[in-house]
Each structure stands twice: as structure tokens, then as C-alpha cells.
Amino acid sequence: MSVILGYSDNSVKLFVKGADTSMLKLIDKSLNTDILQATKAHLHSYSSVGLRTLVIGIRDLDASEFEQWHSAFEVASTALMGRAALLRKVAINIERNLCILGATAIEDKLQQGVPESIESLRTAGIKVWVLTGDKQETAISIGYSSKLLTSNMIQIIINTNNRESCRRRLQDALVMSRQHNSEGSSGSVSTLALIVDGTSLVYILDNELEEEVSDIEFVMCLECILCL
């Protein structure tokens, strides 16, 4: 999400906030490299304890660049056909080469009774899926606080960037699942939890791979991209 502000000295600034997965691609890597590395470390630290994070960037706009953006925005916002696509294009053209301003982290507490409800559902043998809009580390932390994950679970994490790699990881997970099911008939064994990032989730929900995950308990982590 972005906002453009004009100041009394006639300067114009663009402020952009969003998830680190999208924002760090927009940062000018030649600027504030030390701050960028420190921010990445802070984001990892925040998400590891379950905090929800955002990155904020800033860029100065000169008068001509602002006027070009404003004209393009007016045309896009009043278009009768393809308005959403035109607005996205206008946003992409200006949301670039940002200077990193910092990051925010907030605690998003669960409502009362949520962990107990999830625990009861799992005890009853009901498969529970959790879909979050957070970083993977945050999703795992929330999994523990909501009692979806427990310390005796074996976590299978899938972070892949192509279909075949995702297929192989799923097949490995299924082998482990079947092995645990057979061991479970003779005694108590650890439960499996599958943790999936956003890119892998796209492949998993494809019809070609969807049937391969029907027998595994899921913790879903979806890294959202926020855009104008």
C-alpha cells in the first residue's frame, strides 16, 4: 500500500508499506546496505516470536515524475475497461528504487478459546488446516500458540520454487506419513505437520498434486504480497 504526500516546501515523497517478500525487491540495494541487513535480521527475529511484520520504504519524487504519475493515475482510475490492471501498472511504475525506512512488528493475539478449540478438534481426529498471511517463522510460532503444533510433532517444511521439486518433497512427506501410520498400529508415534510456503502452495493446490496431500495434517503458511 502506498501514499504520496506533498510538503510545504514543494517536495513530494512516496511512502510504501508491505510484506518483506515484496518490499525488499523494491529497495534500491545501493542505498543503506547496513540498514537493509539489520532490518532483515530484525524481521527474522520478530517473526520467530510470532509478531506480524511490515516493511516501510520511501522515495523522493521530482515534480515531473509526480505529474506523470498523476496523469497516468487519473486515466487509470477513470477507465471503463481493465481499471484494476491499469492501476496496478501505474503503481508498479512508481513503487521502485525505494530507500528503506524501517520495519514494524505487532502482536496479533488469538481470541479467547481458540487454542482450546483447535486442540479439541485435533483430539477428535479432525484434520485442521491453518492459512496465514505471515512469514513462515511467524506461522510456526502461531501454530504453537494455537495448539495446532506441539513439541512432539515432526515438521516437514516445503520451500520450493518449481513443480518438480515440490512433487519430490511431497512424495518424501507421504513416505514418512505412511511409515508413521504403520508404526502407529504398534504404539504411540509423533504426528506429522506439513508447513508450506506461498510459492509451494500454488503447486500443491494444482489438480496434479492436490490428491497427494490428502492424508497429511497441514499447517499452511501463505506469504502474501500486498500491492496498491
For residues 100 and 143, state if they share a domain: no
Let me know if residue 124 belongs to a domain: yes
Q: Please give the chain's pLDDT, 228 residues, in tens.
A: 899 999 999 899 999 998 887 888 898 888 778 888 899 999 989 888 878 889 999 999 999 999 999 999 999 999 999 898 999 999 999 999 999 998 999 887 888 898 899 889 888 888 788 877 777 777 888 888 888 888 888 888 888 878 888 888 888 877 877 777 666 555 555 677 888 887 787 777 776 666 665 555 555 444 433 222
For residues 79 and 127, state if they share a domain: no
Q: Compute the chain's Rg from CA coordinates.
A: 22
For residues 128 and 61, state if they share a domain: no
The length of the chain, given as a count of residues:
228
Beta-bridged to residue 61, according to DSSP, are: 12
For residues 84 and 173, state if they share a domain: no
Which of residues 106, 136, 167 is at a domain's end?
106
For residues 96 and 118, state if they share a domain: no
Let me know if residue 228 belongs to a domain: no
Which of residues 106, 138, 153 is at a domain's end?
106
What is the tally of structural domains in the chain? Answer: 2
pLDDT given at position 72: 94
For residues 203 and 175, state if they share a domain: yes
For residues 152 and 97, state if they share a domain: no
* Domain extent for 184: 114-221
For residues 24 and 88, state if they share a domain: yes
Phi, psi for residue 129 in degrees, rounded to 5: -115, 135
HSE toward the beta carbon, residue 30, CA cutoff 13 A: 2
Identify the residue whose cell numbers are 512433487: 167
For residues 119 and 189, state if they share a domain: yes
For residues 84 and 159, state if they share a domain: no
Let me know if residue 227 belongs to a domain: no
pLDDT given at position 223: 40
For residues 126 and 209, state if they share a domain: yes
Q: What is the CATH number of the domain that holds 84?
A: 3.40.1110.10
* Amino acid code (one letter) for 206: D
Let me know if residue 226 belongs to a domain: no
* 22 alpha-carbon distance from chain centroid: 9
Residues 195 and 157 sit within 8 Å (Cβ to Cβ): yes
Let me know if residue 16 belongs to a domain: yes
CA distance 226 to 83: 18
Which of residues 57, 74, 106 is at a domain's end?
106
The three cell numbers of residue 203 are 503447486
For residues 18 and 91, state if they share a domain: yes
